[in-house]
A = this chain, B = another copy of it.
Amino acid sequence: MAQKPGIPKGTRDFSPSEVAKRQYIISAIKHHFETFGFQPIETPTFENSSTLMGKYGEEGDRLIFKILNSGDFLANTDVTLLENKDSNKIASQISEKALRYDLTVPFARYVVQHQNDIVFPFKRYQIQPVWRADKPQKSRYREFYQCDADVVGSKSLWQEVEFVQLYDNVFTSLGLNGVTIKINNRKILSGIAEVIGAKDKLIDFTVALDKLDKIGEDGVKKEMLEKGLSEDAIQKVQPLFNFTGTINEKLHKLNTLLASSEEGLKGVEELRFICDNVTAVGLGESVLDLDVTLARGLNYYTGAIFEVSAPAGVKIGSIGGGGRYDDLTGIFGLKNMSGVGISFGLDRIYDVIEELKLFPETVTEATKVLFINFGDNESLYAVKAIKKLRESGIKSELYPDAAKIGKQFQHADKREIPFAVLTGAEEIANNTFTLKDLKSGEQALVNLDELKQKLQ
């Protein structure tokens, strides 16, 4: 009953070297999360559907993977709905659990559920996979990891300062020099909309402005007109289309542009606080920039908005993003909990590091030494030595079968194992080992201590 094996579209197997590279990135992110005082939590792979449905918009509901109830799931369904093949309504009758769609909603649910055990402000990180029934395409998967850090329960702008530092620390430690950490503020976008008399068109306005990179000034203006913004309003935002200069120059321009909007000026003030302090503390290899076109998930964010773009020359979307949302847990009944957080895009970071050839060679180094198998007596001698090497953390193996020597060396070669050890009658008699460097071909007769030293 052989089947041609495969995996569902949009999912991936990860080979040993891929796992090692992913772990290298995740370890860097975890390390910095922890030095910043974030603590890990984990939530279940599936949540009650009621926890997830309705939290990500109509499109989101459609993309949530639903789990079929176990047992006789049709028993209590409505026959008329079945006959009408009403998939939508039947779905909620035969499925009460769904796969995690992001880490933010489960985090909000966690905070509310465990609010009595949590010390606020609560700094948590979470690195777990999420699932979306999206159309799979290049760099878009149905199963992928999210790496999130959030603080809930504090409105302090020092959090925003720290998140910029955190991005910088992670990317600098990964060798990704020249990453741009873009920052904006929802209040600035609201202020602009207010100033140009298009407060009711905030979403249309920002969605259009967000496309400046892609469709250019004319394209954005055309879209704004189509969405009902007036010529006059568009004229007023003209400075935004060529919004260059240092952060201070940009803040100055915004101050002028937003002079009549209280909310807008508040946004400028917040941005100034964040940027001034980030500059005063200093960044590593990343660059901070103010990008007034940055809108991401506008409905969600209420203050700072972050997005990170890869070093110049690497064509890829954002490798991180986040922001502040003033009512994280309200959907679950806990009001007035301000949250702010950022996310790292593991898959894209992986692609960028791969493209720039920045993975250290040691990342994928697995077994260090293969002991050649000459038969059971020799193997016992080998296994005793291997035990000592492993105690010193040296990854060591015995070739399991007394196969032809050539085959065993070939195995070491294919697996890129750098050293082999030979233990024949003579070595055993003298309590020594012949260590062979498989790259140079050099051989040396050594005792156990020397062997350990050479391999460490």
Q: When each residue 67-82 of chain A gets 1 if its CB lies under 8 Å from chain B and 0 otherwise, what string results?
A: 1101111110101001
The answer to whether the Cβ of A13 comes within 8 Å of any Cβ in the partner chain is yes
Q: Which residues of B contact A96 (CB under 8 A)?
A: 8
Q: Would you call B131 and A45 a contact (CB within 8 A)?
A: yes
Q: Would you call A46 and B83 a contact (CB within 8 A)?
A: no
Q: When each residue 352-379 of chain A gets 1 if its CB lies under 8 Å from chain B and 0 otherwise, what string results?
A: 0000000000000011000001001001
- Nearest Cβ in chain B — how far from A94, in angstroms? 7
Q: Which residues of B contact A48 (CB under 8 A)?
A: 6-8
Q: Which of A115-123, A238-246, A260-268 contacts B (4 or more CB under 8 A)?
A: A115-123
Q: Which listed residue (B34, B46, B129, B281) contacts A8, Cβ 8 A? A: B46
Q: Would you call A39 and B16 a contact (CB within 8 A)?
A: yes
The answer to whether the Cβ of A114 comes within 8 Å of any Cβ in the partner chain is yes
With contacts A8-B48, A37-B397, A332-B3 taken as known, whether A62 is within 8 angstroms of B66 at the C-beta atoms is no
Q: How many Å lie between the Cα of A309 and that of B286 in the bound state?
A: 52
Q: Which residues of B contact A312 (CB under 8 A)?
A: none
With contacts A3-B332, A6-B113, A383-B281 taken as known, whether A400 is within 8 angstroms of B44 at the C-beta atoms is no
Copies, count: 2
Q: Would you call B40 and A16 a contact (CB within 8 A)?
A: yes
Q: Which of A85-93, A192-200, A250-258, A317-325 contacts B (4 or more CB under 8 A)?
A: A85-93
Q: Would you call A114 and B82 a contact (CB within 8 A)?
A: no
Q: Would you call A3 and B393 a contact (CB within 8 A)?
A: no
Q: When each residue 1-16 of chain A gets 1 if its CB lies under 8 Å from chain B and 0 otherwise, what string results?
A: 1111111100111111
Give the bracket for the number of chain A residues in contact with chain B: 35 or more
Q: Which residues of B contact A296 (CB under 8 A)?
A: none
Q: Which residues of B contact A97 (CB under 8 A)?
A: 8
Q: Would you call B91 and A83 a contact (CB within 8 A)?
A: no
Q: Which of A154-162, A217-225, A422-430, A437-445 contacts B (4 or more CB under 8 A)?
A: A154-162
Q: Would you call B114 and A13 a contact (CB within 8 A)?
A: yes
With contacts A6-B113, A48-B7 taken as known, whether A383 is within 8 angstroms of B119 at the C-beta atoms is no
Q: Which residues of B contact A281 (CB under 8 A)?
A: 380, 383-384, 387
Q: Which listed residue (B129, B376, B400) contacts A121, Cβ 8 A? A: B400
With contacts A3-B332, A83-B79 taken as known, whether A393 is within 8 angstroms of B35 at the C-beta atoms is yes
Q: Which residues of B contact A82 (CB under 8 A)?
A: 74, 82-83, 85
Q: How many Å lie between the Cα of A78 and that of B398 in the bound state?
A: 57
Q: Would you call A40 and B20 a contact (CB within 8 A)?
A: yes
Q: Would you call B66 and A41 a contact (CB within 8 A)?
A: no
- Nearest Cβ in chain B — how far from A299, in angstroms? 16
| Central interface residue in A41, A44, A143, A330, by most chain B CB within 10 Å | A44
What 17 new A-B contacts, CB under 8 Å, besides A8-B46, A44-B143, A169-B390?
A2-B332, A11-B45, A14-B42, A14-B43, A31-B393, A35-B390, A35-B396, A36-B396, A39-B366, A62-B71, A67-B68, A75-B85, A83-B83, A121-B400, A151-B400, A156-B400, A162-B398
24 contacts between A and B (CB under 8 A): A3-B50, A3-B331, A5-B113, A5-B333, A6-B51, A7-B48, A11-B44, A16-B41, A36-B390, A37-B366, A37-B367, A45-B129, A46-B131, A68-B94, A74-B86, A79-B85, A82-B83, A123-B397, A154-B400, A155-B401, A158-B398, A162-B383, A277-B383, A282-B387
Q: Nearest 8 CB-CB pairs, A to B?
A: A2-B333, A156-B400, A11-B44, A16-B39, A37-B397, A74-B85, A35-B390, A14-B42
Chain A residues with CB under 8 Å of chain B are 1-8, 11-16, 19-20, 23, 31-32, 34-37, 39-48, 50-51, 62-63, 65-68, 70-75, 77, 79, 82-83, 85-87, 90-91, 94-97, 99, 109-110, 112-114, 117, 119, 121, 123-124, 129, 131, 133, 143, 151, 154-156, 158-159, 161-162, 165, 169, 273, 277, 280-282, 330-333, 366-367, 373, 376, 379-380, 383-384, 387, 390, 393-398, 400-401, 411, 414-415
